[in-house]
């Protein structure tokens, strides 16, 4: 070891330590904390970085954890994509040293304080050819023979950590059965492997695992274009894919086509995230996330917790338990610690009233925990309870009329609060949690003490309080209509963040950057926590805007979908009404279709927008517990994120429809040009009004002009209503004549015909003739064929008159 140190010192003395930016390291050279390798395109860097030890509360320099890694060199926020010594960081105030053996055989990270090697490439094959270390422009660190990058001895892509870069592969060697497995880090500070991993299996699907053994999500098999459960992969002109399945290997890689900066990360949350750098806001923004619901990740909140995708934070403790962290807060980067009991169980088997016996607390509205055990002999709830009470290891039980008796031993995992957009076969059952009697007794004694003190205080000041209450009620009676009691009810806005007006005023720089306006009010861009871009809708103070405010909270505030804009929170102070949404960098669809100055959307982008909007409407109409009718589908209410993924927005006119109802009466009306005939006539409406509006939007997506546009017929004399013009041309087989001329014919004719057919079926006069949005999705995905639609006679008659 002394020889190694002498060699290191000699190399440094001879000027062999790399300091200047270069992409190559030669045998005998070293790399210290001050130096780095930079790829030839400047995109990636290799060097040492450090983080604070999780056990250090004083943030001393001696607590630094040093790692050798690769990161995005041109991104101001340190974003690592590969870490060499993630299992063995070097502790200390100064960085370790990267050495490259003089014979070109191995790289090694040396801890100078302990004179030990903490990581090396461990190449055992000897070669007489000199190897060169090169950091490639795709983020791959390679050892190659004689600098020939096609003759690779070792590469970092073969030793992945938690990141899949464009051009890298995930897969398996069918001959050796070796797998390229990606493993999440423990948290944002600790780079060591976490509990979640993903790999490509022999079934052709990417599967995510908890603790390397328990699968909790699958991408579905590769269908030639994308993985079956990830239709988001079909984003136009952004990606290309390489999928190999032969006798030797099965592998997958993705490639970027638009020059953007993206990477795929297996996050500490257990979700796979494709992230894109948004340079204007200096943040990483998700393109898509799998699984989309965080609570479906196994053990994401740890033991004895409840997960709720509609709250922030999403994790909370069950009754009788407290956060296991000392500070009692949920770390957004590490939530798997779970919760611990407030009081130990008595385990005497006695359930009588008093401190001597354990009891059960019933929790309804949740999905049952992971890994239940059946108790066949328990024929009633009482027998099921006694079976659990008789074993100290039993932590909960449930008894259902169909499911019988189920008990759980040890930790309770994967308990999920069922929201308005989901159901469960166990939703009618109650989970009874095994608790110590002190949990109930302490609450009772505390309540008595509180009641006694309150009564004594009230008795002394009763007269004064009554006078004050009467005065306050008279003064505020007229303001009660605009108060926020209903808004703060959990039934309305569970999971949303209640902001103070001053917070949003500060986030938007006093509402200085307006990005939209309408009859309801105005929308402003803001920045939350100095990093997260948001859109703040400030409504006017009239009763109409109050109604819209509550409509949006009761609809979009309780749902989550890739193609529906996400509501973050709200503000309700005095007569101020504000709604906070995720920010959409590419604004609304109408700006791209109708404004001459906007860049032209190519056909693939338009097709994916049409498909995404259809998926969002299908979710509203068919997947929510209460069906939701948007009632105002138009390009102005379709927002586009950084990847041009469409998000349905503006739910101010939305109507909830109970599952046992088929229609609803409403006096409000949508936007002229998108109104279904039955709505104009004043009858009760169904979700088919959204289908009609969607059909009109499809015509605008195809043509790049408003559906109210008048056009000349083939004779050049008669003015024809544009939707009728489209229907006539479709029946004649001449669809290209009305395709947006800015596309210069660069379309897929089969898809144009398909979209035209869908549009003309959607705008049929009779609602029963229109397809459901679920059927529309299947048609656009190419799963279901569609016949030629008839002419919408009502539209033609209106035009003729």
Provide the annotated active-site residues.
632
Rg (CA), the chain: 31
**30 Cβ contact list (under 8 Å, min separation 6):** 8, 11, 12, 16, 17, 18, 97, 98, 99, 100
From its phi and psi, is residue 242 left (phi > 0), alpha (psi between -120 and 50) or beta? beta
Give φ, ψ of 277 to 5 degrees. Answer: -80, 125
Query: What is the DSSP-derived secondary structure letter of residue 697?
Result: H
Question: How far is it, in rounded angstroms, from Cα 631 to Cα 611?
Answer: 19
Nearest partner of 152 among 134, 128, 139, judged by Cα: 134
Nearest partner of 620 among 648, 662, 645, judged by Cα: 648
Angle between helices 793-800 and 722-732 (to 10 degrees): 120
What is the number of residues in the chain? 801
Beta bridge partners of 316: 306
Question: How far is it, in rounded angstroms, from Cα 195 to Cα 302?
Answer: 11
What HEC string does 728-781 produce?
A: HHHHHCCCHHHCCHHHCCCCCHHHHHHHHHHHHHHCCCCHHHCCCHHHHHHHHC
What is the DSSP annotation of 401-431? TTTEEEEEES----EEE--TT---TTTT--E
**377 Cβ contact list (under 8 Å, min separation 6):** 383, 387
537 labelled binding-site residue = yes
Distance of CA 687 to the CA centre of its chain: 27
Question: How far is it, in rounded angstroms, from Cα 708 to Cα 279?
Answer: 38
Question: How far is it, in rounded angstroms, from Cα 46 to Cα 712?
Answer: 63
Query: How many beta carbons lie within 10 A of that of residue 710, not counting itself?
Result: 11
Binding residues: 537
Going by the annotation, the residues of the binding site for ATP are 537
């Amino acid at each position: 070891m002394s020889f190694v140190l002498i060699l290191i010192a000699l190399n440094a003395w001879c000027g062999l330590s790399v300091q200047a930016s270069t992409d190559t390291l030669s045998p005998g050279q070293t790399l210290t904390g001050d130096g780095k390798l930079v790829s030839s395109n400047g995109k990636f860097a290799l060097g040492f970085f450090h983080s604070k030890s999780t056990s250090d509360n004083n943030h001393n320099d001696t607590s630094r954890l040093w790692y050798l890694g690769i990161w995005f060199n041109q991104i101001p926020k340190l974003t690592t994509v590969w870490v060499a010594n993630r299992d063995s960081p070097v502790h200390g105030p100064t960085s370790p040293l990267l050495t490259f053996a003089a014979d070109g055989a191995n790289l090694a990270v040396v801890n100078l304080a302990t004179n030990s090697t903490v990581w090396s490439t461990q190449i055992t094959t000897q070669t007489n050819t000199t190897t060169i270390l090169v950091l490639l422009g795709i983020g791959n660190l390679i050892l190659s023979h004689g600098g020939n990058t096609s003759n690779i001895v070792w590469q970092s892509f073969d030793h992945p950590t938690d990141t899949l870069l464009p051009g890298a592969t995930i897969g398996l060697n069918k001959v050796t059965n070796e797998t390229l497995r990606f493993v999440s880090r423990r948290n944002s500070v600790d780079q060591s492997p976490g509990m979640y991993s993903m790999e490509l299996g022999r079934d052709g699907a990417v599967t995510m695992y908890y603790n390397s053994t328990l699968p909790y999500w699958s991408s579905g098999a590769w269908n030639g274009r994308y993985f079956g459960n990830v239709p988001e992969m079909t984003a136009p002109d952004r990606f290309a894919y390489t999928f190999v399945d032969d006798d030797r290997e099965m592998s997958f890689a993705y490639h970027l086509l638009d020059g953007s900066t993206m990477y795929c990360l297996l996050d500490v949350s257990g979700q796979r995230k494709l992230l894109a750098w948004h340079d204007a806001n200096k943040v990483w923004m998700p393109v898509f996330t799998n699984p989309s619901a965080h609570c479906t990740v196994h053990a994401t909140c740890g033991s004895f917790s409840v997960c709720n995708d509609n709250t922030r934070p999403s994790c909370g403790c069950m009754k009788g338990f407290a956060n296991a962290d000392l500070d009692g807060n949920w770390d957004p980067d590490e939530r798997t610690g779970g919760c611990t009991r407030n009081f130990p169980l008595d385990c005497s088997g006695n359930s009588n009233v008093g401190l001597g016996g354990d009891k059960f607390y019933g929790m309804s509205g949740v999905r049952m925990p992971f890994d239940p055990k059946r108790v066949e002999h328990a024929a009633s709830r009482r027998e099921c309870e006694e079976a659990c009470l008789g074993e100290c290891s039993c932590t909960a039980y449930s008894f259902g009329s169909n499911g019988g008796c189920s008990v759980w031993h040890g930790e309770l995992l994967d308990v999920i609060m069922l929201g308005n957009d989901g159901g469960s076969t166990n939703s009618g059952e109650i989970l009874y949690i095994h608790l110590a009697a002190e949990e109930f007794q302490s609450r009772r004694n505390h309540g008595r003490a509180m009641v006694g003190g309150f009564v004594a205080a009230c008795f002394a000041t009763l007269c004064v309080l009554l006078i004050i209450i009467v005065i306050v009620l008279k003064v505020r009676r007229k303001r009660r209509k605009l108060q926020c009691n209903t808004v703060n009810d959990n039934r309305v806005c569970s999971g949303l963040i209640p902001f103070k007006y001053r917070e949003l005023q500060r986030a938007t720089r006093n509402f200085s950057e307006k990005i939209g306006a309408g009859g309801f009010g105005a929308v402003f861009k803001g920045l939350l926590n100095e990093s997260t871009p948001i859109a703040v809708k400030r409504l006017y103070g009239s009763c109409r805007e109050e109604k819209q405010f509550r409509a949006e909270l009761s609809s979009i505030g309780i749902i989550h979908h890739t193609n529906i804009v996400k509501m973050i929170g709200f503000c309700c102070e005095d007569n101020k009404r504000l709604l906070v949404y995720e920010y959409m960098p590419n604004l609304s669809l109408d700006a791209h279709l109708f404004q001459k100055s906007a860049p032209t959307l190519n056909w693939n982008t338009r097709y994916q927008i049409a498909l995404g909007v259809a998926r969002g409407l299908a979710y509203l109409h068919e997947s929510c517990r209460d069906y939701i009718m948007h009632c105002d589908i138009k390009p102005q209410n379709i927002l586009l994120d950084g990847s041009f993924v469409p998000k349905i927005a503006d739910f101010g006119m939305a109507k909830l429809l109970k599952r046992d109802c088929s229609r609803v009466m409403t006096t409000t009306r949508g936007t002229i040009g998108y109104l279904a005939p039955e709505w104009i006539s004043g009858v009760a409406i169904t979700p088919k009004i959204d289908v009609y509006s969607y059909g009109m939007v499809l015509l605008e997506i195809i043509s790049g002009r408003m559906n109210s546009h008048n056009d000349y017929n083939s004779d050049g004399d008669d003015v024809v209503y544009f939707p009728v013009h489209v229907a006539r041309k479709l029946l004649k087989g001449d669809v290209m004549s009305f395709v947006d001329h800015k596309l210069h014919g660069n379309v897929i004719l089969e898809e144009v015909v398909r979209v035209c057919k869908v549009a003309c079926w959607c705008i049929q006069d009779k609602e029963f003739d229109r397809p459901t949005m679920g059927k529309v999705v299947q048609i656009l995905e190419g799963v279901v064929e569609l016949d030629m639609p008839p002419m919408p006679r009502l539209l033609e008659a209106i035009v003729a008159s």
